[in-house]
Structure 1
Amino acid sequence: MQYCNKCGRPLNDGEVCGCMQSAPQKKKSYTLLFAIGIPVLCLAALAAAVLLLRVITDMSWRSKQGRMADMNKVAEEMTEAADKALQKISSEGGDVSGWNNINSDEDIPISYKFDIGRFHEYFSEYTGSSDKEFFIIAHDGRVEYLAVSDSWSNTADAVGTYPSFDDSPVYFSRDDIKEKVGKGKRLRDVYIEGTRELMDIRYRE
C-alpha cells in the first residue's frame, strides 16, 4: 500500500492523489505594476497634452503673424489713400495743418478743422479697405501713422500698421522707437497708446 506524501491518504498502485491536482495556484500580484505604471502613464499623458498645447499655440501665433504681415500691406495701401484724401481736402481750402487723429469709430468725439465727412468720402474712393476699422495720425496734411484691423476689440483680429518693422506692427512714435505690438493686442489698445503719445507730442510742442 502506498500513501500520499502530501496528505497521507492510502493510494492504489499508480494512483495519483487528488490533493496534488486540486492544490490552489498562487495568483500573481499586479499591485506593484499598477502602483508604478498608472502614475507613469498619467505623467506621459500630461506631458503630451502640454506639448500639444504649445504646438497649437505656436501655430496659432504664426498664423496670426502671417495675417499681421498681410494687414501691414493693407495699412500701407490705406496710408497712400489717406494722403491723397488729405491733399484733396487741402486743395479745396480745408485746413489740414497741425496734428489730426482720424478714425473710423464715430463714437469717439474728435473735432476737426476740416470737413471729416468729406475726408471719409474721398478716402473711400481711393481705397478698397475703408470698411475696416482704422485710425490715422496725420501732421500738416501727411499721414505719420496708420493702424488697421477688422475690429476694434477682438483680440483674434490681426492689427496692421504703417510704418511697420520686420513685418510686425508697431506702436506710434516720433522718436524712431519701433516697439512692436505684442500678442493679444487689439486695435483699441494700439489706439490708446497712440493717443497718449500724440498728447505727449502736443504737450512738448
Structure 2
Amino acid sequence: MPFCTQCGRPLAEGETCSCRNNSANITPPPPQSQYNGYGYQPYQQGYPQAPYGYGQPYPPYGQPPYAQQKKSNGWIVGLVIGIVLLFALIAAAILVPAMLGYTRKARLSNIRSEANVLRKAAETSMIEIDEEGSNVKGRYIISSDKKDNVAVPFDVDDFNARLDRYFEGAEKYKYFIVVNNGYVEYAALSESWTKKTEKIGTWPVGTDDKPREYSKDGSSVFSDKKTNLDTLYWKAYDEIFG
C-alpha cells in the first residue's frame, strides 16, 4: 500500500494526497529562537562585524591634512647663508690687512719708543760717570755685545750697571749706541742681531719702512727695509773708523 510522502497517510492505488495541494497555502512557522542555558541568546560565532558594514574593509590609513609634507624652504636658507658668507669674506678682505697694518705700526712705534728710552738711559749714565771724574771724551760705540765695544774711554761694566737701572729692556734687546763726547748721537735696538724680519728702532727715527743709519754729519740716511741690526752696526763702524 502506498503512503503519502508528505503526511504519511495511506493512499489507494492511484490516489493523490490532498496535503500536496494545500502545502503551497500553508504559512511556514516562524523560526524558533535559540537560547543558551541561562535564557539569553548565545554569543555570535566569530568576530563582530566591522563598523562599516559586513564585508566592508576599513578605509586605508592616510596622513591627516595637517601632516602633509610642506614645501621645502632649504633654498632660502642656503641663499641667506651664502649672502652672509659673502659679506664675511668681504669684511675679512678689508679688515685683515688693516689689522695687520695696525699691528705692524704698533710694533714699530713700540720699538722706536724703546730706542728713545735707551738713548735717555745711556745719557743719564754718561752724566753720572762724567760727574764722578771718568773720561767721556771722544766718539765711540757701546754695544750689548761686549766684543763689539769700540774705543770706549771708561769702564764699560760700570756703565752697563748704571744703564740697567734706567733701561728695563737692557736684558731683552740687542743694541748699540754711538757716543760723541758724552752725548748719544745714535741708538739702535732690536730683538735680534741678524733676523731681517725683526723690527728695528732707531734714534733719530727712520721712516715707516726703513730704519735710519748713523751719519757723522747728521744727514738723513735710511737703510733698506730688509736690513738687520748687525748691518746697521757695521755701517756705523765704517762711518766712524773706516
- Do the structures match in fold with TM over 0.5? yes
Instruction: Report the Cα distance in structure 1 between the residues aligned to 2:159 and 2:240, rounded to whole angstroms.
Output: 21
8 A contact 1:133–1:152 mirrored in 2: yes
SS of structure 2 residue aligned to 1:169: coil
8 A contact 1:85–1:123 mirrored in 2: yes
SS of structure 2 residue aligned to 1:193: helix
RMSD value over aligned CA atoms?
2.5
Give 1:191's aligned residue.
Answer: 233
1:133 aligns with 2:169: no
After superposition, the Cα gap between the structure-2 partners of 1:66 and 1:178, relative to the gap in structure 1 and judged at 3 Å, is: farther
Write the deviation string for residues 4-61 of structure 1: whole angstroms up to 9, x where unpaired.
Answer: xxxxxxxxxxxxxxxxxxxxxxxxxxxxxxxxxxxxxxxxxxxxxxxx9xx98x9978
Give 1:149's aligned residue.
Answer: 190
Instruction: Report the Cα distance in structure 1 between the residues aligned to 2:142 and 2:107, rounded to whole angstroms.
Output: 24
Give the CA deviation at 1:174.
2.8
SS of structure 1 residue aligned to 2:185: strand
Give 1:171's aligned residue.
Answer: 213
Instruction: Report the Cα distance in structure 2 between the residues aligned to 1:145 and 1:109, rounded to whole angstroms.
Output: 15
Structure number with the higher helix fraction is 1
1:96 aligns with 2:136: yes
TM-score, length-normalised on structure 1?
0.63
Give the CA deviation at 1:121.
0.3
8 A contact 1:68–1:169 mirrored in 2: no
8 A contact 1:72–1:169 mirrored in 2: no
SS of structure 2 residue aligned to 1:164: coil
Write the deviation string for residues 143-195 of structure 1: whole angstroms up to 9, x where unpaired.
Answer: 00000001111112111100114455300013232122322211001101111
8 A contact 1:162–1:169 mirrored in 2: no
Paired amino acid for 1:99: R
Structure number with the higher strand fraction is 1
SS of structure 1 residue aligned to 2:159: helix
After superposition, the Cα gap between the structure-2 partners of 1:63 and 1:147, relative to the gap in structure 1 and judged at 3 Å, is: same
Instruction: Report the Cα distance in structure 1 between the residues aligned to 2:107 and 2:168, rounded to whole angstroms.
Output: 18
**Unmatched segments (≥5 aa) in structure 1:** 1-51, 201-205
8 A contact 2:194–2:229 mirrored in 1: yes
